[in-house]
Amino acid sequence: MNNFRRLIVIVGISLLLLACSGGSDPESEAKSSSGSSSSASAVPDGYPFMGVAELDAYLAENSGKPTMVLFWTTWCPSCKEEMPEMEKLRKSHGDKLNVITISLDEQKSALEAYFSKNKLDLPVYHGDEAIARKFEIQAIPTLVIFDKDGTQTFAKAGIFPHSMLESMADKLIGQ
Is the pLDDT confidence value at 149 over 80? yes
| Residues whose CB falls within 8 Å of the CB of residue 47, separated by 6 or more in sequence, listed in order | 103, 108, 111, 112, 124, 125, 126
For residues 155 and 44, which has the higher predicted lDDT (pLDDT)? 155
Element (H, E) at 172: helix 162-174
Task: Give the integer Cα–Cα distance in Å for 166 and 163.
Answer: 5
For residue 66, is pLDDT > 90? yes
Segment 68-105, tens digit of pLDDT: 999 999 999 999 999 999 999 999 999 999 999 999 99
Residue 33 has pLDDT above 70, yes or no: no
Give 64's contacts (C-beta < 8 A, 6+ positions apart): 148
What is the domain partition of the chain in residue ranges? 39-174
* Model pLDDT, residue 1: 57
Per-residue pLDDT, 174 = 86
pTM for this prediction: 0.74
**CATH fold of 39-174:** Glutaredoxin (3.40.30)
* Rounded alpha-carbon distances, angstroms, from residue 162 to 1, 33, 83, 131: 53, 18, 10, 25
